[in-house]
Amino acid sequence: MSEVTILKIGGSVLTDKSKEGKLNRKEIARIAKEIASGDVRRLILIHGAGSFGHPIAKKFGLDIPGRQNYTGVTLTHEMVKDLNRAFVKELIENGIAAMPVHPMSCAISSKGRLNKMMTSQIELMIDNGVVPVIHGDVVMDLDWGVSILSGDQIVLHLAQRLNAKRVGVGTDVDGIMDDDGKVITSITPKTFSNIKPLLTTSKNIDVTGGMSGKVNELVKLAEGSIPSYVFNASKKGNVAAFLEDNVDFGTVIRSD
């Protein structure tokens, strides 16, 4: 398995995070177009849940370990699938052979950490020119019954498992910021301990740790020599530039 590219688009980009269950249709359309203009060979797309996942998961207390409200679990799962469906539809309309993959049906966690994920279907998809579109979800959990699985954990798992060439994380901010709001252009596992206290959690409801949770996962990737780029996917052209391997913006997280 070679040369896999993973791109995560944050839920904050695809949805209106201030209103529960509201799509950001304009952005979904623009991003699908940018993806279609780039190199989609051996590409895996992952997206966050945004206002289709975080508010409802919070409402049913699913961010509390061991809270087994299975009606809430199903309703949350159905909502994130609605977002996935809208994104996949737009990708297909732009000529991409996009295929939905729902973690609830192929992954399990243990104490909130992704423990097992069936990836042979994902590998076959990319071998056959299909672009899998995976998302943050709720999944069964060996210890807690159920837990929330963020797209960031899926990024980490798949990038390590499939030995990704590069990883992109498109958010609604310009990258990882320092105290003065300036973008930190590069982070390594060595510099991370200084930067960690500066990372805040999201201003919107975020049950999976916001930027801090994201960087934690990406530093683990850098330790395994897989570089990742955190950039603003809300800025026109950035998604296309990432796919063209032409990133001179945002934050790169690399081994040294």
List, in order, residues 6 or more apart from 54 with CB less than 8 Å away.
11, 17, 204, 205, 206, 207, 208
Q: Which of 6, 7, 11, 88 binds ligand IP8 (CB under 6 A)?
A: 11
Using CB under 6 A as the binding rule, whether residue 57 contacts ligand IP8 is answered as yes
Q: Which of 13, 40, 44, 49 binds ligand IP8 (CB under 6 A)?
A: 49
Q: Which of 27, 40, 45, 48 binds ligand IP8 (CB under 6 A)?
A: 48
CA distances from 121 to 54, 78, 124 (A): 27, 21, 5
- Quick count: other Cβ atoms within 10 Å of Cβ 197? 9
Q: Which of 17, 30, 42, 54 binds ligand IP8 (CB under 6 A)?
A: 54
Q: Between residues 105 and 186, which has the closer beta carbon with respect to ligand IP8?
A: 105
Using CB under 6 A as the binding rule, whether residue 250 contacts ligand IP8 is answered as no
Nearest distance, CB of residue 26 and ligand IP8, angstroms: 20
List, in order, residues 6 or more apart from 198 with CB less than 8 Å away.
177, 178, 179
Q: Quick one: three-class SS letters along 184-209?
A: CCEECCCCHHHHHHHCCCCCCCCCCC
Q: Which of 76, 171, 202, 251 binds ligand IP8 (CB under 6 A)?
A: 76
Stretch that binds ligand IP8, among 106-114, 132-140, 181-189, 235-243 (CB under 6 A): 132-140
Q: Between residues 15 and 238, which has the closer beta carbon with respect to ligand IP8?
A: 15
Considering only CA atoms, which of 186, 200, 151 is closest in space to residue 48? 151
Stretch that binds ligand IP8, among 15-23, 32-40, 45-53, 225-233 (CB under 6 A): 45-53
Put residue 73 in one of left, alpha, beta given phi > 0 → left and psi -120 to 50 → alpha. alpha
b/e for 95-116, b at 16 or more Cβ within 10 A? ebebbebbbbebbbbeebebbe
Using CB under 6 A as the binding rule, whether residue 72 contacts ligand IP8 is answered as no
**Per-position x/- string for 134-173, each x denoting binding to ligand IP8 as judged by CB under 6 A, each - no binding:** --xxx---------x-xxx---------------------
Using CB under 6 A as the binding rule, whether residue 38 contacts ligand IP8 is answered as no
Number of residues engaging ligand IP8 in binding (CB under 6 A): 17
